[in-house]
A and B are shown apart, each in its own frame.
Chain A
């Protein structure tokens, strides 16, 4: 009895990887935020927004230097003016004092008075200092506040880590910036010298290496041939957001791709596999342009978020909805099967046009429709049969060209090509006509 109860407790406590529907159901049925908490959060929001506003105003001020100088001069002039006025006032008081006392003797300032006067003057000086700051004066004294944005340039890595769905590891490469990439490195060399995961974190976290090779810290702006030797770096203490990390990783992905002469693909996933990022290099220049984020179903909708990367900034292009659950593309070497549940959506590059496309594959009918990012249909075809070649290939007939094509998935990229050589599959059946065909190098021929 106790064991069963413990089992139930264990099940209730094991709450990792809940899908969006479950989270929604829980949030709708149980009020978790008290009024006090809500007010606290709203106060935090107000405070952060006003801090941001101030920081923006300060940053937007282009003539900051001039203002600083003009304010300094202004304050100097002001202090001088106040001193003069104070002196005049003192003289007037003295004259009045002489008149009232009737003394025509030489004015004598007793030692007792002087401190007062000094005090009086210094008070006025201190008053000057205490003059309510103008907007300009804030420019001088305001401390650095607001959010730290932008990419930290202090991190330089030459480590390579694996993309791993279990934990937050990702394949990174080489140092940032344009370095000449050694193209002689092969996979074996890489795996021998690879390092563990790196994370850019707050604090003085370091990226540790597992290699036995001795390391030395890299200089910041050093342009060098990217090697596979590991190096020891102290990472930036700046807090880095997910987008910054994405941008940083995308740089590494670009270099990684150049290194291995691969294009288009790399993949990250967070530790709960709730969403994955796929990095695309559309124009094949080694610099990634697109990150596609897959996320889970929300009711009957899948949200696909497109992002572009320009100069290390990430902006959202569009949020599209589809009726299919987003599929996961294969991990690492493309040999893992697709996770297909009731149809699939896969991002790929159209090898003919180089454009990013979405393939929506219906497992039931085997039909495939591909759209480009503007919603135009690129391909529309019915699958003739599904190869059991690790489920990586689909043979279909392109309705437009009436030619047989194969969509194959390699490194997460679905390549649609005509007439690829496929061994071991010499007979296929056209689902439309029911006829059988032999598949050979040149094309299909009827038996």
Chain B
């Protein structure tokens, strides 16, 4: 992981080099945030453009503050979430339906309670933790398949495997995962 100060010092020398270092440090992270928000609503180009916009805005904000930023990660996270939300709204705009406020005026906005929300998030975190524990390339396959919604062919291309091998590995990994989770439940 490239430290923030190296990234910032790279910008003082060359914007190109700065962006490259920023990409190396946070490219994956930003893309993950965007993917989490947008899911399969947008194509790869939309997501890549969103990532580009996020980096530009981050650097612009840093420049406005003379690069005196306490936490580059915090800043880029906030900007990423906003831009991802913009993209989500843009892509999903026409799919939304209008609803009458009277349907909601006397009821709580959602049935989720703080406990539910917290529990749900903990469960998801635990699930992905278990996926990562499977080890590569199984974990990569499952993450690419279910989190980033990539096809087996794309995953095969990325991991330099055949499509059939990816499908097989995915199936086995899920079997393994299921057994692990069942075991954990029992205990």
Q: Which of A20, A24, A27, A331 has the most CB of B within 10 A?
A: A27
Q: Is A430 an interface residue (CB 8 A)?
A: no
Nearest B-chain residue to A208, judged by Cβ = B98
- Bound state CA distance, A295 and B177, in angstroms? 31
Tell me whether A25 and B121 are in contact in the complex, defined as CB-CB below 8 angstroms, given that A199-B89, A316-B61 are known contacts. no
In the complex, whether B5 has a CB less than 8 A from a CB of chain A is no
A339 touches B56 (CB 8 A): no
- Is A428 part of the contact surface with B, judged by Cβ < 8 Å? no
Q: Is the interface of B mostly helix, strand, loop or mixed?
A: helix
Segment of A31-39, A176-184, A216-224, A405-413 engaged in the interface with chain B: A31-39
Q: How many Å lie between the Cα of A12 and that of B175 in the bound state?
A: 13
* Known pairs A4-B178, A210-B100; A162 contacts B32 (CB<8 A): no
Q: Which residue of B lies closest to A207 (CB)?
A: B98
Which residues 350-376 of A have a CB within 8 angstroms of B?
A: none
Q: Which of A16, A191, A202, A331 sits near B90, CB closer than 8 Å?
A: A202
- Would you call A418 an interface residue if the criterion is a C-beta within 8 Å of the partner chain's C-beta atoms? no
Residue pair A197, B146 in contact (C-beta under 8 Å)? no
What is the chain A residue whose CB lies nearest that of B32? A27
- A383–B42 CA distance with the chains assembled, in angstroms: 49
Contact of B139 among A5, A30, A46 (CB under 8 A): A30
Determine the interface band of chain B, counting residues with CB < 8 A from chain A: 35 or more
| Interface contact B98-A303, CB-CB below 8 Å | no
* Among B56, B69, B101, B128, residue most surrounded by chain A Cβ atoms (within 10 Å): B101
A23 / chain B contacts, CB cutoff of 8 Å: 29, 32-33, 36
Q: Which residues of B contact A16 (CB under 8 A)?
A: 39
> In the complex the two chains form, what is the Cα distance from A316 to B118 in whole Å?
29
Residues B77 and A303 in contact, CB atoms below 8 Å apart: yes
Residues of A within 8 A of B35 (CB): 32
Indicate whether A164 reaches chain B with its CB closer than 8 angstroms: yes
Contacts of A169 in B (CB 8 A): 99
Chain B residues with Cβ under 8 A from A270's Cβ? 85, 88
Chain A residues near B78 (CB-CB < 8 A)? 293, 295, 303, 305, 319
Please tell me if the beta carbons of A34 and B96 are within 8 angstroms of each other in the complex. no
* B52: A residues at CB distance < 8 A: 41, 44-45, 48
Whether the Cβ atoms of B88 and A271 lie closer than 8 Å is yes
Minimal Cβ-Cβ distance residue in A for B143: A30
> Distance (Å) between the CB of B177 and the closest chain A CB?
7
Query: Does B114 touch A at the CB level, under 8 Å?
Result: yes
- Which single member of B90, B124, B174 contacts A9 (CB below 8 Å)? B174
B93 close to A201 (CB less than 8 A) = yes
How many Cβ-Cβ contacts under 8 Å join chain A to chain B? 216
Question: Are A339 and B114 in contact, with the CB atoms below 8 A?
Answer: yes
Distance in angstroms from B162 CB to nearest chain A CB is: 18
B48 touches A44 (CB 8 A): yes
CA distance A45 to B55 in the complex (A): 8
B101 touches A194 (CB 8 A): yes
CB contacts (< 8 Å) of B128 on chain A: these are: 18, 22, 25-26
The chain B residue sitting closest to A337, CB to CB, is B114
Residues of B within 8 Å of A30, CB to CB, are: 28, 139-140, 143-144, 147
Residue A64 CB within 8 A of the other chain: no
CA distance A167 to B95 in the complex (A): 12
Task: From known contacts A167-B96, A274-B81, A341-B118, infer whether A48 and B32 are also in contact, taking CB-CB under 8 Å.
Answer: no
Could you tell me which residues of chain A, from 1 to 20, have a CB within 8 Å of some CB in chain B? 4-5, 8-9, 11-20
Bound CA span A305–B118, Å: 23
Contacts of A28 in B (CB 8 A): 28-29
Q: Per-residue CB proximity of A309-335 to B under 8 Å, as 1/0?
A: 000000010010100000000011000
Instruction: Decide yes or no whether A196 CB sits under 8 A from chain B.
Output: yes
Contact B71 A319 (CB under 8 A): yes
Tell me the bound Cα distance from A239 to B20 in angstroms. 28
CA distance A81 to B79 in the complex (A): 56
A382 vs B154: C-alpha distance when bound (angstroms)? 58
> Which residues 180-220 of A have a CB within 8 angstroms of B?
191, 194-197, 199, 201-203, 205, 208, 210
Q: Is B169 an interface residue when CB atoms closer than 8 A count as contact?
A: no
A8 touches B178 (CB 8 A): yes
Are B15 and A165 touching (Cβ within 8 A)? no
Q: Per-residue CB proximity of A36-56 to B under 8 Å, as 1/0?
A: 011011101110110010000
Query: Closest chain A residue to B52 by CB distance?
Result: A44
Judge whether B139 and A19 touch: CB under 8 Å.
Answer: no
The answer to the question of A340 belonging to the interface, with a C-beta cut-off of 8 Å to chain B, is yes
- How near does chain A come to B67, taking the closest CB pair, in angstroms? 14
User: Which residues from chain B contact A205 at a C-beta distance below 8 Å?
Assistant: 93-94
Assembled-state Cα–Cα distance A34/B39 (Å)? 18
What are the 7 closest A-B residue pairs judged by CB atoms, nearest first? A196-B98, A165-B109, A201-B93, A12-B146, A27-B32, A162-B101, A44-B52
Could you write out 29 A-B pairs with CB less than 8 Å apart?
A: A5-B174, A5-B175, A8-B177, A9-B174, A12-B142, A12-B147, A16-B39, A17-B124, A19-B124, A19-B125, A27-B31, A30-B144, A32-B31, A32-B148, A41-B51, A45-B19, A45-B52, A160-B101, A161-B101, A167-B96, A191-B101, A196-B97, A201-B90, A242-B83, A270-B85, A295-B78, A303-B71, A305-B78, A336-B108
Could you tell me which A residues sit within 8 Å of B by CB distance? 4-5, 8-9, 11-34, 37-38, 40-42, 44-46, 48-49, 52, 160-169, 191, 194-197, 199, 201-203, 205, 208, 210, 239, 241-243, 270-275, 293, 295, 298, 301, 303, 305, 316, 319, 321, 331-332, 336-337, 339-341
In the complex, given contacts A12-B127, A303-B71, what are 20 additional A-B residue pairs having Cβ atoms less than 8 angstroms apart?
Answer: A5-B175, A8-B181, A15-B39, A15-B146, A18-B128, A23-B29, A33-B27, A33-B28, A37-B44, A41-B23, A44-B52, A45-B19, A196-B99, A196-B100, A241-B86, A295-B81, A303-B74, A319-B70, A321-B74, A339-B114
